[in-house]
């Protein structure tokens, strides 16, 4: 474990004005709080917070962040409290420690909906003070470095979470060195055989051709000295995971993968970067399509550098990055460069991005998107690389890879995106689904009467565009959904001999915690809430009475104490031939005699029960699922629902499966009396000109096991 004086010495290397006494007090307080606690490896637990603090000194961070690292587990794992930390070390540090504690408790992997909600909390915490995520990333890095002491299942979980969330987040923050190390440490757990294979091949390559890095580095230095350019040159082999990812992306074997070496040239001035580029391209042949100028077109996290790939010594491809010292500091620290110290004062780096602006660019739509949309947006931001396109006036617009002209339009302004009818790329009219490439000029063609289409959601890739399209579609659909919801409720109420009133709807909305009756009707129309749920909310006795009648009188052949349920796979109706299958603890499940699921029970004749439906009038209480394809036009859905109601059937649920500009495909759950009732309903629907297709849905995968 690093001694407190050694830790202070690390800080003094970049911040001679550090408050050494406060560091000592925090070190001693953390050591005392964690006394008697041990890691899985058997080491004293406090070795971990000290190691995290040491990692943060490599980024030259301020005293508050270093102290937060020393105390980051105290509030969660010891008797320490926020009040005590605030009293001893100040509110700023107490809030940072509390923020890291809350991040630690967030489950960022697991169920999608919970993950989406927790991602939102993560970015809200980052928006308050980005230093909490810097401590959390350093915490994760040290845990990954020492992951061998964990149980194997825990190793796999942490490695996957690191690969999916923390490594991309570090990369999006510009901390590329941390991203690469996190990815490689996770790769070592997730796929050790692949990683070892790459290392073996790499060792074999070095044995055959020697260590080419010193030779190429010397070649570059000689060329630069000949031109009088002062610069530092560094070379390295790429990490195993970086090589593996490139092999997967390009579907190449290791022997065919060429650019496994990377070289970095750090110049004194920006003009020297371009002079160096000229020297490199004059001496070695440039590889077409492998040049990016992030100096003139910097990334959102402040990253600036020139990237080029050339055929170097012996025809080997090597990647070369060229940047100044200040650019290099931002490239290494990312947004953390904003807090970096040198000689006791905050570094004034003109290329460091203000974290507030960076976070605002990610979280500007907090109030506009639901949790899932926000998760989708943030993951796109984290995982995507960028292309740079131009407006007709020459302004640069950074876009993620795979972006389309529609994404481009929405990145300029939501109104431009909503009214987009076409686009020209480099002066040529192209479809809206065209994937944009680096350096292209994009002109958006707009029309005042245009509105976003549901199909646009399949075209765009940016979270901003998706959120704007969904918002517009919701607003446009709301009126139509309210009308449809009113019709569904009317039919459902009439089915049980009740009349819809404003008072009844207000009561249902209030009971279901909705803002007003319009919100209730809109949700019914969009299939988020069923009209049957409204009935059940207002008149629960109707549903109970109906189910009692069904269970008591519907089926003949059951013993007095036997209960039955209809199989979800075939949903048999009165009038159809049926058979029962017994289940321990589930009573008897009745199937239609032609249900394919019955083949599974051919070897268990003792479980079969001879049943038949009782004769007479059955109540319309047997749910059956229909698949409907209808024309997308004003009023069509309302007419279809009215038609279903006119046939004496009740719609208990409705779900949109697909929405296209010319048609809707939906599943409608209806309550029917018997097989004849189903036949009459299908006949009526088939005769309707707006119905393209209608069929009963039977799902063998839904049977009880």
Q: Residue 546 has what pLDDT?
A: 47
The residue that leads in pLDDT, 522 or 210, is: 522
Helix (H) or strand (E) segment spanning residue 680: helix 675-687
In this structure, the answer to whether residues 124 and 209 fall within a common structural domain is no
In this structure, the answer to whether residues 103 and 25 fall within a common structural domain is yes
Residue 179 within any structural domain of the chain = yes
The band of 113, judged by pLDDT with boundaries at 50, 70 and 90, is: very low
Both tokens of residue 368?
């506009």
Q: Of 325, 346, 367, at which residue does a domain stop?
A: 346
Q: What is the pLDDT of residues 218-264, one digit of tens each?
A: 999 999 999 999 999 998 888 888 888 777 766 666 655 556 788 99
Q: Is 385 a catalytic residue?
A: no
In this structure, the answer to whether residues 142 and 32 fall within a common structural domain is yes
In this structure, the answer to whether residues 183 and 261 fall within a common structural domain is no
Residue with tokens 């047997």: 622
pLDDT at residue 196 is higher than 50: yes
Q: Residue 141 has what pLDDT?
A: 94
In this structure, the answer to whether residues 214 and 243 fall within a common structural domain is yes
Residue 647 within any structural domain of the chain = no
**What's the CA gap between 174 and 168, in Å, rounded?**
10
Closest CA to 483 of 447, 522, 434: 522
The band of 463, judged by pLDDT with boundaries at 50, 70 and 90, is: confident
In this structure, the answer to whether residues 271 and 330 fall within a common structural domain is yes
Assess contact for 149 and 86: CB atoms under 8 A. Answer: no
How are beta strands 420-425 and 428-430 bridged, if at all?
Answer: antiparallel
Catalytic residue among 76, 164, 373, 477: 76
In this structure, the answer to whether residues 183 and 202 fall within a common structural domain is no
Residue 33 within any structural domain of the chain = yes
Residue 333 within any structural domain of the chain = yes
Q: Residue 541 has what pLDDT?
A: 62
> Mean pLDDT score of the chain, rounded to an integer?
82
In this structure, the answer to whether residues 223 and 182 fall within a common structural domain is no
Both tokens of residue 390?
């131009």
Q: Residue 275 has what pLDDT?
A: 95
Q: Of 591, 613, 635, at which residue does a domain stop?
A: 613
What percentage of the chain carries pLDDT values higher than 70? 85
CA atoms within 13 A on the CB side of 357: 8
Residue 117 within any structural domain of the chain = yes
For residue 659, what are the contacts with CB-CB under 8 A and spacing of at least 6? 454, 632, 665
Residue 276 within any structural domain of the chain = yes
For residue 205, what are the contacts with CB-CB under 8 A and spacing of at least 6? none
Q: Residue 544 has what pLDDT?
A: 47
Highest mean predicted confidence (pLDDT) among 303-307, 317-321, 507-511: 303-307
Q: Residue 358 has what pLDDT?
A: 60
Q: What is the SS3 assignment for 545?
A: helix
In this structure, the answer to whether residues 173 and 249 fall within a common structural domain is no
Q: Residue 258 has what pLDDT?
A: 55
Q: What is the pLDDT of residues 342-391, one digit of tens each?
A: 666 766 677 777 666 666 665 555 444 455 555 555 555 555 566 778 88
* Average pLDDT over every residue of 454-472: 84
Residue 477 within any structural domain of the chain = no
In this structure, the answer to whether residues 75 and 213 fall within a common structural domain is no
Catalytic residue among 58, 62, 77, 443: 77
Q: What is the pLDDT of residues 414-444, one digit of tens each?
A: 999 999 999 999 889 999 999 998 778 999 9
Q: What is the SS3 assignment for 167?
A: helix
**What's the CA gap between 659 and 303, in Å, rounded?**
41
> Each residue of 251-289: b (16+ CB within 10 Å) or e?
eeebeebbbbbbbbbbbeeeebbbbbbebbeebbebbee
Both tokens of residue 348?
């004034």
Q: Is 77 a catalytic residue?
A: yes
Query: Residue 204 CB: number of other CB atoms within 10 A?
Result: 11
Q: Residue 111 has what pLDDT?
A: 46
Structural domains in the chain (count): 3
CATH at 212: 3.30.460.10
Radius of gyration of the chain (CA): 33
Q: Of 593, 613, 633, at which residue does a domain stop?
A: 613
CATH at 63: 1.10.3210.10
Q: What is the SS3 assignment for 354?
A: coil
Residue 696 within any structural domain of the chain = no
In this structure, the answer to whether residues 166 and 295 fall within a common structural domain is no
Assess contact for 700 and 596: CB atoms under 8 A. Answer: yes
Q: What is the pLDDT of residues 440-456, one digit of tens each?
A: 899 999 988 788 887 89
Q: Which residues span the domain enclosing 566?
A: 542-613
pLDDT at residue 626 is higher than 90: yes
In this structure, the answer to whether residues 235 and 257 fall within a common structural domain is yes
* Average pLDDT over every residue of 150-178: 85
């Amino acid at each position: 474990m690093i001694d407190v004086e050694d830790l202070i010495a690390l800080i003094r290397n970049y911040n001679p004005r550090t408050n050494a006494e406060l560091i000592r007090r925090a070190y001693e307080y953390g050591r005392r709080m964690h006394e008697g606690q041990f890691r899985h490896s058997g080491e004293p637990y406090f070795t971990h917070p000290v190691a995290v603090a040491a990692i943060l000194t490599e980024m030259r961070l301020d005293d508050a962040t270093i102290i937060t690292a020393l105390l980051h587990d105290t509030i969660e794992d010891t008797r320490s409290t926020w009040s005590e930390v605030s009293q001893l070390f100040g509110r700023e540090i107490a809030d940072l420690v509390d923020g890291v504690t809350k991040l630690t408790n967030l489950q960022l992997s697991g169920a999608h909906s919970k993950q989406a909600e927790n991602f939102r909390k993560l970015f809200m915490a980052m928006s308050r003070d980005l230093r909490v995520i810097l401590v959390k990333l350093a915490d994760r890095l040290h845990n990954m470095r020492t992951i061998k002491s964990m149980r194997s299942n825990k190793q796999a979980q942490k490695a996957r979470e690191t690969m999916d969330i923390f490594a991309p987040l570090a990369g999006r923050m510009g901390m590329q060195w941390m991203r690469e190390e996190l990815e490689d440490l996770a790769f070592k757990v997730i796929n050790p055989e692949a990683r070892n294979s790459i290392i073996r091949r790499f060792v074999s390559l070095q044995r055959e051709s020697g260590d080419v890095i010193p030779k190429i580095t010397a070649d570059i230095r000689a060329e630069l000295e000949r031109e009088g350019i002062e610069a530092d040159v560094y070379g390295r082999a790429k990490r195993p995971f970086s090589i593996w990812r490139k092999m997967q992306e390009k579907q190449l074997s290791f022997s065919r993968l060429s650019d496994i070496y990377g070289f970095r040239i750090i110049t004194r001035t920006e003009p020297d970067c371009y002079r160096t580029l000229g020297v490199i391209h004059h001496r070695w042949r440039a590889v077409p399509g492998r040049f990016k100028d992030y100096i003139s077109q910097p990334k959102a996290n402040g990253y600036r550098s020139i990237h080029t790939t050339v055929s170097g010594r012996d025809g080997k491809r090597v990647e070369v990055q060229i940047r100044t010292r200040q650019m290099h500091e931002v490239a290494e620290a990312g947004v953390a460069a904003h807090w970096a110290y040198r000689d006791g004062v905050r570094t004034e780096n003109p290329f460091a991005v203000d974290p507030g602006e960076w976070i605002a660019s990610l979280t500007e739509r907090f109030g506009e998107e639901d949790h899932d949309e926000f998760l989708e947006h943030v993951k796109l931001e984290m995982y995507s690389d960028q292309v740079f396109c131009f407006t007709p006036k020459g302004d640069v617009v950074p876009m993620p890879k795979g972006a389309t002209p529609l994404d481009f339009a929405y990145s300029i302004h939501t109104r431009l995106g909503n009214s987009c009818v076409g686009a020209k790329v480099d002066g040529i009219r192209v479809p809206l689904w065209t994937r944009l490439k680096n350096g292209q000029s994009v002109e958006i063609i707009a029309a005042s009467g245009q509105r976003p289409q549901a199909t646009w959601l399949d075209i765009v890739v940016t979270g901003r565009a998706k959120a704007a399209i969904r918002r517009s579609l919701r607003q446009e659909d709301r009126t139509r959904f309210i009308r449809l919801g009113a019709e569904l409720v009317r039919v459902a109420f009439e089915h049980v001999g009740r009349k819809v009133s404003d008072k009844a709807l207000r009561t249902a909305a209030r009971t279901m915690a909705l803002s007003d009756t319009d919100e209730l009707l809109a949700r019914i129309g969009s299939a988020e809430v069923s009209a049957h749920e409204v009935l059940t909310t207002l008149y629960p006795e109707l549903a109970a009475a109906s189910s009692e009648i069904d269970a008591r009188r519907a089926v003949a052949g059951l013993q007095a104490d036997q209960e039955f349920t209809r199989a979800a796979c075939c949903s048999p109706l009165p009038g159809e031939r049926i058979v029962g299958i017994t289940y321990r603890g589930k009573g008897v499940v009745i199937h239609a005699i032609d249900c394919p699921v019955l083949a599974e029970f051919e070897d268990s004749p003792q479980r079969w029960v001879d049943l038949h439906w009782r004769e007479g009038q059955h109540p319309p209480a047997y749910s059956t699922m229909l698949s409907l394809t209808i024309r997308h036009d004003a009023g069509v859905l309302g007419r279809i629902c009215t038609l279903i109601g006119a046939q004496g059937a009740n719609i208990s649920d409705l779900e949109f499966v697909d929405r296209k500009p010319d048609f809707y495909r939906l599943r409608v759950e209806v309550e029917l009396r018997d097989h004849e009732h189903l036949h009459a309903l299908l006949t009526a629907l088939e005769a309707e000109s707006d119905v393209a297709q209608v069929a009963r849905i039977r799902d063998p995968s839904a049977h009880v096991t």
